[in-house]
Structure 1
């Protein structure tokens, strides 16, 4: 029996990689074998698709006080959570002392067309501003639209949770069914919600089509995992699992990260590397890319590109990266050729889209009527559009507009926005804000290097004036039927591999997979769930390589 420590390597310093290290540090002390954890992150900052920038909005004038710099922050990627359903995240935030920093956001939406023909606002959570009955969703179509939306929404959630549909059952299939036979599709949900629908109303099919094209298709195409070929062909479970977690609960508890999403991840990193904590030792190596050579006997990690002779040995490797980034980092020994072929087939099913997160002052992105501006602004495109690039526009002042945070409540002018677009050129360069160093100390004092967030370092060099502005590049897997199939297959692979390690089989590849692509829509809660599952497989099985 080899009594040496079990050396676990993690590649990826986003939510998945950090939560893997957290759960190993928290529960690894209960294992029968000592554990050592090393996490490798190729960038100097942690966070993956969480990226926070600080911008200067000019001078702030307050009665009786000297003018002060109006320095604010913005999340370009991950920017809010729902504590009513994010149970893993709530527990972690509470343990590391970050829960009190989660502030309630103004959860309002606007659906609009550029020509002004469509203008609807969901103002249930409106804190301040104009709620015009002519545009308020609850008043639309004589008050008939909003109750029908609730019924449609509940019917879709019920269908997904029933597990009676496959990933090949699409959003388009669901809405086609609703229009063709409303009673069959919607009556059960209406009865449960105690909402009365006139099933004989001749306008009902047209109303359902309006809900499809004005509410759901634009909203789904604005989700980060959306298929750029359009929402109709996406699996129904993709957006509605997102809705269930991100907007569910009774009631939902939507919060934003004070000082940005990267702040809590840096706080988590500080927590898990604290030598005063009991449990396995965790080391985080930043700014360090590696490649890993795998054999049934273990893992050798080598710095890549090779700027020195540094290498590390591990007994187990957990990949917490995007699917398309994983295989290029891995070298499989000849005795793992079959595993390599299997994994190559699984990961090849995961397709990616890319988008830019931009912090700016371009009000032209918002509805033409300023009174329609809401926290989330979703442009309604023509139903004949065949290409749906990811886009949504946030009013940052509203996103951070909460009575619990007086410094931000009604923060006033100048308004600033965050837009997610498929092309950086969609925002005028003159209106993209300059990035500034964080004025905070501690975990919030992020590395002020634009090449160290998102995937900007994967772009060719740009002119210095543009590099200095507050934007970044993201990528995310498309949550289509192929990806859902890959998720099921990688879950089976993880279970089989963990069992083989526990049984001491000599032909097992010491490699497991986490990362946002492996579970659901890759929400932070789902990343934490996946990490908890992986660590339960290891510690629950008493994963102990035998000599």
Structure 2
């Protein structure tokens, strides 16, 4: 038996890379060999598509005290989770002492047209404030729209789960079928939810079309994995598996991360690298971009810098975007067939880019301020053929100021985060400046907000007026049929490679893949699940030895089944 340490290198310091290190350390004692883990992150801060910024909203005034600068934080990318469908995340956060930092957000949404002709608010979870009955989605058209939303949700999710459709069955296919034959498509859901529908109502197809174009298609276009060619051509399973995770549960449990998403990632990094931590040693190297040369004997990683430091490893796990992986890899002798296979698989994954901006430009929001909600989604014209990802958040609502007296009583100005395809959508004068975290912020965030995550450093040149502003650039893989096929193919590659390594075959490529693009929509729970799965493959085929992983996964499946059985009646939260 080989008693030398198994050296595992991970490239990528986002949720996927960090959770890989976490699970390898947690269950590394199950391996036949001692394990050593080194994680490489090219930026000084961790996060991937998560970035938290601190902004200054002015001077806070308190009775009898001088005004002081009042700093708030905002997440520019990943910003909340549904704990009801996230057993892996819940377990991990509880272990590292971060679960109590997850706070309930105000789970509301607005759908609006710029000309004011359409205005709907999803206010089922609006507990403080005012809701106008003339705009409330649950009351629209005498409540008929809300009932149909529940049926559409249940029918679409049941269809996806039935496995009777392929990734080539599109959102358009589903809604076309519902409008053409409502009873055939929706009656099973109506029976399951005990809802009476007049299937002969001549207005029924029109209501379904109204929901398609004023709720579902705008909402799908506000999902980060959206197709810029429009939501209709996307696989039905893409948005509805996302709905199941983000909106599922009985009830859903939507939370935001107090002090931002980067806080828990930094806390996770501190947890796995602590000097007293039991288990395999984990080293996280920041600000180091590496290239990797692969051979059948192992991996050589070389720093992309004048010093060209080198590291040797037995196995490499890429926890990056698909399009970033191959440019970092060189395949040695005997691996040309593997290289061609991976080029084919990763080449199927297409990317779009968007900017996250923290600002005070209210012109992005609905014309009627009474319609402002946590998530504000503009309805596009049906003639639009280009659908870049966009959504506008009222941060004060997302962080639930109404339930947080120290914020709510401060009389702060409203501030927003917008996801746009062009920075010029937001006036420079309305962009907020990026600041260091205040002294009372968690120690793990000291200076973190100044070390940009995201990909703004990949832009060729940034004008000086933008350097200090609170924005970043993100990349998103489009969850189209090609991407779903790539996910299935990379899973087969990972399984085959891990099995051959475990069985001692020669000539095996020392390379596996994680990352958000490899599973579902790349939600945090899915990234953790993929990491746990890879670790189970690596540490030996019998997953029964990893009971905590198996139990967490089975708990997630039970919750998902329960959310389907309970449905989304009478109205899915935050559609």
CA deviation string 1:472-497 (max 9, x = no partner): 00001000000000000000000000
Equivalent residue, structure 2, for 1:316: 315
**Cα offset for 1:397?**
0.3
Q: Deviations over 1:58-88 (max 9, x none)?
A: 0122345443322100000000000000110
By how many angstroms is 1:374 displaced? 0.3
Corresponding position of 2:433 = 434
Structure-1 residue corresponding to 2:296: 296
Corresponding residue for residue 264 of structure 1: 264
CA distance in 1, matches of 2:32, 2:505: 19
Q: Please, which moves more after superposition, 35-44 or 190-199?
A: 190-199
Normalization by structure 2: what TM-score? 0.92
Query: Does the residue aligned with 1:408 lie in a helix, a strand or coil?
Result: helix
- Equivalent position SS for 1:71: strand
Residue 334 of structure 1 aligns to a residue whose secondary structure is coil
- What is the correspondence of 1:208-247 to structure 2 with a 5 Å cutoff? 208-247=208-247
1:232-260 C-alpha deviation (Å, 9 max, x unpaired): 00000000000000111000000000000
Instruction: Say what the alpha-carbon RMSD is for the aligned residues.
Output: 1.3
- 8 Å Cα contact 1:391/1:420 also seen in 2: yes
Q: Secondary structure at the match of 2:502?
A: helix
Conserved 8 A contact 1:103-1:404? no
Q: Is the 2:25–2:281 contact (alpha carbons within 8 Å) kept by the matching residues of 1?
A: yes
1:345 aligns with 2:344: yes
TM-score of the superposition, structure 1-length normalised?
A: 0.97
C-alpha distance in structure 1 between counterparts of 2:164 and 2:106, whole Å: 35
CA distance in 2: counterparts of 1:484 and 1:63, whole angstroms: 58
Partner of 2:139, secondary structure, is helix
Residues 16-165 of structure 1 aligned to structure 2 (within 5 Å): 16-165=16-165
**Does structure 1 residue 275 correspond to structure 2 residue 275?**
yes
Q: Deviations for 1:277-306, whole angstroms, at most 9, x for unmatched residues?
A: 1110000000000000101110010101x3
Distance 1:542 1:137 in 2: 49
- Give the CA deviation at 1:445: 1.7
* Cα deviations by residue, 1:388-423 (Å, 9 ceiling, x for unpaired): 111000000000115653323465430000000000
Q: Which residue of 2 aligns with 1:445?
A: 446
Asked if the contact 1:32/1:542 (under 8 Å) is kept, the reply is: no
Instruction: Judge conservation of contact 2:37–2:283 (CA < 8 Å) in 1.
Output: yes
Is the contact made by 1:366 and 1:393 (CA closer than 8 Å) also made in structure 2? yes
Shift of 1:162: 1.2
Residues 300-336 of structure 1: CA deviation (Å, up to 9, x unaligned): 10101x3214101100000000000000000001210
- Residue 334 of structure 2 aligns to a residue in which SS? helix
The answer on whether the counterparts of 1:61 and 1:68 sit within 8 Å (CA) in structure 2 is yes
* SS of residue paired to 1:184: helix
Task: Tell me, yes or no, if the aligned pair for 2:60 and 2:410 is still in contact at 8 Å.
Answer: no
**Deviation, structure 1 residue 462:** 1.6
CA distance in 1, matches of 2:256, 2:447: 18
SS for the counterpart of 1:17 is: helix
Quote the residue 2:572 is aligned against.
none
**Cα distance between partner residues in 1 of 2:168 and 2:533:** 26
What are the superposed Cα offsets for residues 331-363 of structure 1, whole Å, 9 maximum, x if unpaired?
Answer: 001210000000000000000000000000000
